[in-house]
Amino acid sequence: MVADRSSPETRGILCTHCEGKLEVSAHAMSVNCHHCNRRVIIEDLKIKAYHAVVKLATAGRVEVAKRAQVVAKVRVHELIVKGEIKGDVIAVDRIEIAKQGSILGNVSCKRLQVEAGARLSGFFRVEPEFEPEPQPENRGNPQLSR
């Protein structure tokens, strides 16, 4: 995990492409990774409808609303699921699944909170010392990695 040497004006994140450690402004929405020279989205997202992409990645928090459905590989810092996710999920920190939420795919994270009634299907890796590994990307079309 990123060492917390952050001041109130900065925060430590991991690049969503190469897992390199970055120190960024607390107000930044995206930065360029100095390790892999790729754009890293940092902003928090709230998904309220159907959202299908190849990969959904942010170094921030993602909330999938109650009636929303996400079809994608998901790589985030923190995830809250009240709707449905179809695809593999990697969270650097934690995943919270509400009673009406569901994940259909493999999950890796440090912490997992599941309410009674939530639906889960896949393999789960929950380890306090979990560190994500760099994922191979489709570099041919930049639209596919968003």
Q: Decide if 23 is inside a domain.
A: yes
Q: Quick one: 37 and 84 in the same domain?
A: no
Nearest partner of 77 among 64, 96, 94, 89, judged by Cα: 94
Confidence of residue 26 (pLDDT cuts 50, 70, 90): confident
> At residue 45, what is the residue type?
L
Contact 14, 20 (CB under 8 A): yes
Contact 6, 27 (CB under 8 A): no
Q: Quick one: 58 and 94 in the same domain?
A: yes
Q: Quick one: 37 and 108 in the same domain?
A: no
Q: Decide if 61 is inside a domain.
A: yes
* Helical (H) or strand (E) element with 22: strand 21-25
> Tell me, what's the pLDDT at 110?
94
Long-range contacts of 96-105 (CB under 8 A, 24+ apart): 98/66, 100/66, 101/64
Q: Which domain holds residue 26?
A: 10-41
Q: Quick one: 113 and 82 in the same domain?
A: yes
Under 8 Å CB-to-CB from 41, ≥6 apart: which residues?
16, 29, 30, 57, 58, 59, 60
Percent of the chain topping pLDDT 70:
86
> Tell me, what's the pLDDT at 38?
94
Instruction: Considering only the C-alpha atoms of the chain, give the largest distance between any 2 of them, rounded to a whole number of Å.
Output: 43
Nearest partner of 70 among 62, 60, 78, judged by Cα: 62
pLDDT exceeds 60 at position 70: yes
pLDDT exceeds 50 at position 33: yes
pLDDT exceeds 70 at position 1: no
Contact 62, 74 (CB under 8 A): yes
Q: Quick one: 64 and 86 in the same domain?
A: yes
Confidence of residue 73 (pLDDT cuts 50, 70, 90): very high
Q: Decide if 72 is inside a domain.
A: yes
Q: Quick one: 76 and 33 in the same domain?
A: no
Q: Quick one: 67 and 32 in the same domain?
A: no
The number of distinct structural domains making up the chain is: 2
